[in-house]
Amino acid sequence: MSSENASAPNFIRNQIYDEIEAGRVDKVVTRFPPEPNGFLHIGHAKSICLNFGLAEMFGGDCHLRFDDTNPAKEEQAYIDAIKEDVSWLGFEWAGPVRYASDYFDQLYAWAQHLIREGKAYVDDLSPDEIREYRGTLTEPGRASPWRDRDPQESLELLERMRAGEFNEGERVLRARIDMAAPNINLRDPILYRIRHAHHHQTGDSWKIYPSYDFAHGQSDAIEGVTHSICTLEFEDHRPLYEWFLDNLPVPAKPRQIEFARLNMNYTLTSKRKLKLLVDEGIVDGWDDPRMPTISGMRRRGYTPASIRKFCEMIGVTRADGGLVDIAMLYHAIRADLEDNAPRAMCVLNPLRVVLTNVAEDHEEVYEVPGHPAREDMPVRRVPFARELFIDRDDFMEEPPKKFFRLAPGQEVRLRNAYVIRCDEVVKDAAGEIVELRCSVDFDTLGRNPEGRKVKGVIHWVSAAQAVPMEVRLYDNLFLVEQPDKDKDADFLEHLNPDSLQVCQAMGEPSLADAAPESRFQFERVGYFCADRHACRDGRLVFNRTVGLKDSWAKVQKQEAQKQDGQKKG
């Protein structure tokens, strides 16, 4: 399957097409290079779809490579989760999973090469001094006292750094470029730092680790990557990326292209801040259905197709700073589930109904389509008996005008069944409604009642066969569009206290054997997914993916009507 839609805006696709037409590129090779220091989020999904989609579109390869240069923040659990996410989205990487650590020996040899060429040196300045000497955006930096250190001495010190003879922060290896460069990234950037940390791939064999900037481009070159696609925050790093490729005997020279990252309203995509939510117990782990992580969205009920479709819809541009409306994401999943999710009835807030003119041993079973437009889906067997549950929201004792649900003396149709009338309201000692006593019009199964019009239709379940379940209603985790817009404020102040509500619900019997991650439309309620963790524990828990109302589709329709009106005018 291809995640690339030729009609969606994608300037990178157009550039690659021109390069191939001009004969400058033979085989397209891209890569998705996550740092294994957290779970992937919706912004990474955009990059995954872009890199794998371009390789697929042009008959090339896409590598999965972990840029694992900071063992203090990396875990094998993150690596496993990332591989699972990429596979779940429907993509296959070319060849084995790769790691920047696979190339540590070569990177070290290239660092030695730069020292011998007079283009790198071991610096004894402290981290604070390096920052001070670096200068500012308006003032040039100052040369380190060790900048002209003899290459042979730097080579010997680098070897001792590698052997673990020095403390962390005591020395670094820096490139020798230009301390007065307008681009601050070229002011003698750090190539290696001392880190006495166990590495998940290389164990304890290394005491120094390359910087991301030094490892990234050279790893691309080693792998024969043709297009190194990254987000716009790396645009200022491109001159450094190219400097390394120009000054090292690399086997290839990839081209770095930047695109605008995904910024979506009511959402955070900072791994540091997402990790804080996890560490502080504000959410239930990285795959909490309120999290914008791919695993969280999966647990909430999003499908791979819906996420890929969303990434197509937003396109690929260089225009940065705009917010993507989260309603677009909701639209993508609704469109998928509308076509593919079987239907069922579930009562979130049950209110007992006794049908007084139905015998206590009466039972009917209706065969109801699993999906109104899908003959390939099995029918559901829905039992009907004397006692039912309806949703409390579908009854009002003193209804306003145009309340077309149940009220004293008022009629509604039970979905797929009869018309009933509320004759009596039963309350407890505290005045709370505990039961409705209603009567059935037996002449209304599959047809309208004689001489009167019943406007309301409500969902229900038979009380005796109802399946008890927990239903979790999820909403946006934040109350404001940009929770981290004010850098001086605490983004946690914008948390939505109602982002999770739990209902003890009753569902129709067809839901009893719901498989983990199976998705349903609960009629008149929304789209829901069986929680995979709960299912493994033998519990029946459903997570709300999204409601039925599609505000984005409405916006699109209004915009189309507006444009049509302008054309006619």
> What CA dihedral angle connects 121, 127, 128 and 131, to 10 degrees?
60
**Nearest one of 368, 370, 289 to 333, comparing CA atoms:** 289
H-only helix segments in 99-237? 104-116, 127-133, 151-162, 212-223
Q: What are the structure tokens assigned to 352, written together? A: 């007992």
Among all chains, which residue has been given the structure tokens 């909403």? 475
Residue 352 a catalytic site member: no
Residue 261 a catalytic site member: yes
- Catalytic residue (one of 119, 142, 147, 261): 261
Give the containing element (helix H, strand E) for 472: strand 467-474
What is the three-class DSSP state of 547? strand
**β-pairing verdict for 457-458 and 411-414:** parallel
- Catalytic residue (one of 19, 35, 84, 387): 35
Q: What are the structure tokens assigned to 148, written together? A: 């002209």
Q: What are the structure tokens assigned to 98, written together? A: 């790769």
- Catalytic residue (one of 271, 334, 405, 544): 271
Residue 119 a catalytic site member: no
Among all chains, which residue has been given the structure tokens 């750094």? 161
Residue 226 CB burial class (10 angstroms; 0-12, 13-18, ≥19): buried
What is the three-class DSSP state of 19? helix
Q: Cβ(299)–Cβ(52) under 8 Å?
A: no
Q: What are the structure tokens assigned to 145, written together? A: 């006292």
Q: Cβ(103)–Cβ(225) under 8 Å?
A: no
Catalytic residues: 35, 261, 271
